[in-house]
Amino acid sequence: MSDEILQRATQTHTLSKAEIVRLLSLENAEKLFVAADKVRRQFVGDGVYLRALIEFSNYCKNNCLYCGIRAGNTHVKRYRLTPQQIIKTAQQAVSYGYKTIVLQSGEDVWFDTDKLCEIIREIKKLDVALTLSIGEKSREEYAAYRAAGADRYLLRIETTDKNLYEKLDPQMSWENRVRCLYDLKELGYEVGSGSLVGLPGQTVESLADDLLFFQKLPVDMAGIGPFIPHPQTPLANEKSDGHFELALKMMAVMRLLLPDINIPATTAMETLHPQGRLLALKSGANVVMPNTTDTEFRPMYELYPGKICLGDCAEKCRGCVENKINSIGRFVAHKKGFHGDYLKEKN
């Protein structure tokens, strides 16, 4: 039965909610991973896009229950790079061959629109694609960043279960998060979203809804992260058993539903499994986001415990990631890697 669903999904890229639930519930998902890998090769090729991640501030006004840098975590040593430091880090990343810079932070109000637009303009002079991942903003703010040159925006929906979202993200509204995603889409960004997998109270049915939500938007990129409990958060005593396997299945089904989007092999995957990112690349993923944040600041951006590469420098991470990618017969694509580029170039 699931063989027949897989066969059809690789050709039509449509699945009902019940079929998605069935695939996510598979005990042995090897055939699902093989199908996702086949669709990945056909629609985005063997190239892997690298995105240089700069974690530029761990200040955050929000209090998401799962997140290690939530405002309420008083144990966190806070840091904030200056605009000059951010631009310098981006220049370094470009010197290592990166074609995309991702600026990520908590929701830090110190970076007002003027400061951010100035940083965006300076980084865009480096001839790179620029992605922002800085949380919920007004439509006007998103429009200003876009006018300054930002190309992409990452904002995970985390979960499409509104009740669960508002329980885990107190003082935040699920409708506002959805509003942000639609505003970003209308403003012409490439939009990345995604889910946390394994949240307490999350059901397989709601994970299926997440995938259908990404297909409906539609997203240009989607990152699936296994939830990893952080000891200094209210969810400290939750478990992470099975989250890796479920996240891998989510990612694979997403590749079947949205065959040509960009899907990252997330860092959290490798925290839970030593081969996590390679397994993800073999199950539908085509993007890796190596950390290019200065080694001094990495330990302070602890969203979850056990984050990989904390003691490594950006140059080492760049080489290490490329070697890993080559070890599975894939290669680093030296391009900006916009959604749909591969198919356009092929035809």
Q: Which residues bind ligand FES (CB under 6 A)?
A: 60, 62, 64, 67, 69-70, 106-107
Q: Rule CB under 6 A: choose which of 158, 209, 302, 341 binds ligand SAM.
A: 158
By a kind-dependent CB cut-off of 5 to 8 A, residue 261 interacts, out of ligand SAM, ligand FES, none, with none
Residue 156 is a binding residue for ligand SAM (CB under 6 A): yes
* Segment 94 to 113, residues that bind ligand SAM, using CB under 6 A: 104, 106-107
φ, ψ (nearest 5 deg) of residue 158: 70, -55
By a kind-dependent CB cut-off of 5 to 8 A, residue 70 interacts, out of ligand FES, ligand SAM, none, with ligand FES
Q: Rule CB under 6 A: choose which of 153, 227, 244, 342 binds ligand SAM.
A: 227
Q: Where are the alpha helices (DSSP H) in the chain?
A: 2-12, 17-24, 30-44, 83-95, 113-124, 139-148, 162-168, 174-186, 204-216, 243-257, 267-272, 276-281, 314-327, 341-346
Number of Cβ within a 10 Å radius of residue 126: 16
- Give the nearest distance from C-beta 233 to ligand FES in angstroms: 9
Q: Vertex 220, ends 103 and 147: CA angle to 5°?
A: 50
- Give the nearest distance from C-beta 300 to ligand SAM in angstroms: 12
Q: How far apart are CA 274 and CA 4, in angstroms?
A: 32
Residue 267 is a binding residue for ligand SAM (CB under 6 A): no
Q: Vertex 293, ends 290 and 297: CA angle to 5°?
A: 135
228: Cα within 13 Å, side-chain hemisphere: 20
In the complex with ligand SAM, the residue whose CB is nearer, 128 or 134, is 134
**Applying CB under 6 A, which residues contact ligand SAM?**
66-67, 104, 106-107, 133-135, 155-156, 158, 196, 225, 227-228, 230, 268, 303-304
